Amino acid sequence: MKKILPLLCLALLFGSTAFAGLILNGELSQGGFLRGQVPVGTQVFFQEKHLRLTAEGQFIIGFGRDAATQQTLVLIGADGQRRIKPLHLRQRQYKIQRIDGIRSNMMAPNATDRQRIAVEAQLVAAARQRDSKLPFFYQPFAWPLKGRISGVYGSQRILNGEPRRPHYGLDIAAPTGTPVLSPAAGRVSLSHEGMFFSGKTLIIDHGHGLSSSFLHLSEILVKEGESVKKGQPIARVGATGRVTGPHLDWRINWFDQRLDPQLLVKARQ
Ligand SMILES: [Zn+2]
């Protein structure tokens, strides 16, 4: 009996700090994400948000470009016990990208354009705010097309010599008309024929707040509300909106947090 007691204490100790049945996969980094699974009946909270779980207990969380490097995941077990899992994110260094030759009306939009930009930003924000129960966020993602990477996630932009907002997309150079394939299954949450900055714009909802946006398209091949399969042609590359040449600008969001698409396609399942 004397020998069993310390072992029992050790087990109790681990019982309150360890995370039986918690699985986490992904990139613990700014711009990264984690896919997780917990035993059925567990509740998961991240940044005050009560996360949606699939019937199997799967969920996803994402970290923005400048996310704090110390984060916590809170789990409440079926037994009511609360456990805190600290997450330490890798701090990233972002590139500086200079682009010149942008037309002056794109650099300093007038009052009418600013109003239009605000309306369009609302539409995009609403599409990205969806918390649907689609399960496709948990599946591997593929490249929407192959091409030279002409702009990376997070880079600080200097347009016509002026420092501007960072670039959140992954730019893939390709000729106008090149098919864009859906990187994962989902449902079309926004299809817009011409936004001020992003031109023809398409957003696909993959579920649980994870969405893909495709900017500067020449043609959109799917309609709002339509379900799409992974690898299905959904649009064609173009040069609409604020661009200096044809390319696909692919963005990934977890709600309003902007993630790095390259981390998603390289993630193993
Ligand atoms: Zn871009």
CA 93 – ligand 1 centroid, Å: 19
CA 232 – ligand 1 centroid, Å: 22
What are the tens digits of pLDDT across the range 17-75?
567 789 999 989 999 999 999 999 999 999 989 999 999 999 999 999 999 999 999 99
Residue 186: band (very low, low, confident or very high) from pLDDT cuts 50, 70, 90: very high
CA 173 – ligand 1 centroid, Å: 10
For the chain, domain boundaries:
4-88, 96-266
Do 4-88 and 96-266 share a fold? no
pLDDT over 70 (residue 11): no
The pLDDT value recorded for residue 184 is 98
CA 149 – ligand 1 centroid, Å: 10
Residue 267: band (very low, low, confident or very high) from pLDDT cuts 50, 70, 90: confident
Determine the Cα–Cα distance for residues 193 and 175; give it in Å rounded to an integer.
Answer: 19
Say if residues 253 and 175 touch (Cβ distance below 8 Å): no
CA 249 – ligand 1 centroid, Å: 4
CA 183 – ligand 1 centroid, Å: 17
Closest CA to 241 of 205, 186, 196, 201: 196
The pLDDT value recorded for residue 5 is 45
CA 100 – ligand 1 centroid, Å: 14
Q: How far is CA 115 from the centre of its chain?
A: 26
CATH architecture of 4-88: Sandwich (2.60)
CA 4 – ligand 1 centroid, Å: 62
Q: Which of 62-76, 105-119, 141-155, 240-254 has the lowest mean pLDDT?
A: 105-119
CA 170 – ligand 1 centroid, Å: 6
pLDDT over 70 (residue 268): no
pLDDT over 50 (residue 3): no
Q: What percent of the chain has pLDDT over 90?
A: 79
Residues near ion ligand 1 (CB < 5 Å) are 151, 169, 171, 249
CA 125 – ligand 1 centroid, Å: 18
Residue 236: band (very low, low, confident or very high) from pLDDT cuts 50, 70, 90: very high
Residue 165: band (very low, low, confident or very high) from pLDDT cuts 50, 70, 90: confident
In terms of DSSP bridges, do strands 156-159 and 96-99 run parallel, antiparallel, or are they unpaired? parallel
CA 53 – ligand 1 centroid, Å: 32
pLDDT over 80 (residue 13): no
Q: Average pLDDT of the chain?
A: 91
Residue 178, classified by CB atoms within 10 Å of its CB into exposed (0-12), middle (13-18) or buried (19+), is buried
CA 14 – ligand 1 centroid, Å: 47
pLDDT over 60 (residue 14): no
Residue 7: band (very low, low, confident or very high) from pLDDT cuts 50, 70, 90: very low
Residues in the chain: 269
CA 188 – ligand 1 centroid, Å: 21
With the C-alpha atoms ordered 255, 257, 262, 266, is the resulting torsion angle positive or negative?
negative
pTM for this one? 0.89
Q: Does domain 96-266 have CATH number 2.70.70.10?
A: yes
CA 169 – ligand 1 centroid, Å: 5
The pLDDT value recorded for residue 101 is 82
Q: Residues 113-137: what's their mean pLDDT?
A: 97
Q: Give the position of tokens 């600008």.
A: 249
Determine the Cα–Cα distance for residues 121 and 119; give it in Å rounded to an integer.
Answer: 5
CA 240 – ligand 1 centroid, Å: 11
CA 64 – ligand 1 centroid, Å: 17
The pLDDT value recorded for residue 6 is 46
CA 199 – ligand 1 centroid, Å: 11
The pLDDT value recorded for residue 155 is 93
